[in-house]
Amino acid sequence: MPKIKPMIGIKYNRLTALKEVRMGNRGMIYLFQCDCGNQKELCSSAVRSGHSKSCGCLRVETTSQNNTTHGAVNSSSYQTWQAMKTRCLNPKSSSYKNYGDRNITICDKWMSFEGFFEDMGERPDGYSLDRIDNNKGYSKENCRWATPAEQNRNTRQNKFLTKNGKTMCMRDWSNETGIPYPTIQDRVRRGWSDDRVLERAA
């Protein structure tokens, strides 16, 4: 059986072997100096294999980072992200027919919460995730945080009308012209032109 070379002075990940301490059940136990400044006795085989990469500080740092990132698990942004993925990717979701079945996609970056949060940040109170173009998928370019009123105006059922170079949804045209909203809806259903729909005495 080949003799294993001593580890003294050799660095493995964050650990540098200082001296042999004793023989253990699984190999020689060494005293290691960690990059963080701590010293710890560890089995040589665990360090060589990469199972032990530090005195324990690396695990603490990784856990802290995960908690910082995913401490948002209960946040409104995280819940919004999860709901977005469910309706687009889970055929068992009741909303899937309006999203996944319509080929409403999620950009690659937003498949991770970190990517989504980097682009959108924390969801403001009273706002929800809104796609600017309802026929396109979820991405930074096509999404915004919107109020309920803004999102209601942006549904597939809401038609946009243009007059004199100005384009607005039916609800906004109703507010501007004074034409009752149901009247505008009825005219649209009849197939009238935008100009005729928006004539006050039509």
- Do 41 and 104 belong together in one domain? no
pLDDT of the residue at 165: 83
The answer to whether residue 64 scores a pLDDT higher than 70 is no
pLDDT of 20 higher than 60: yes
Token output for 95: 């909303």
Residue 73: band (very low, low, confident or very high) from pLDDT cuts 50, 70, 90: low
Same-domain check for residues 149 and 193: no
Q: Are 127 and 146 in contact (CB under 8 A)?
A: yes
User: Is this structure's pTM higher than 0.75?
Assistant: no
Q: Residue 180: which region, alpha, beta or left (left: phi > 0; alpha: psi -120 to 50)? A: beta
In a domain, 1, yes or no: no
Is residue 5 one of the residues assigned to a domain?
Answer: no
Q: What are phi and psi of 100, to 5 degrees?
A: -55, -45
Domain count within the chain: 3
Identity of the highest mean pLDDT range in 56-60, 100-104, 166-170? 100-104
Looking at residue 61, what is its pLDDT?
63
Q: Which amino acid is at 155?
A: T
Model confidence pLDDT, tens digit, residues 88-128: 999 988 889 989 998 999 999 999 888 999 999 989 988 98
Pairing label, strands 128-131, 39-43 = unpaired
- Mean of all residue pLDDT scores within the chain: 84
Mean pLDDT to the nearest integer, 186-196: 89
Please give the residue range of the domain that contains residue 41: 11-67
In a domain, 44, yes or no: yes
Q: Tokens 């959108």 correspond to what residue? A: 120
Distance separating alpha carbons of residues 127 and 151, to the nearest angstrom: 9
Task: Answer yes or no: do 82 and 146 share one domain.
Answer: yes
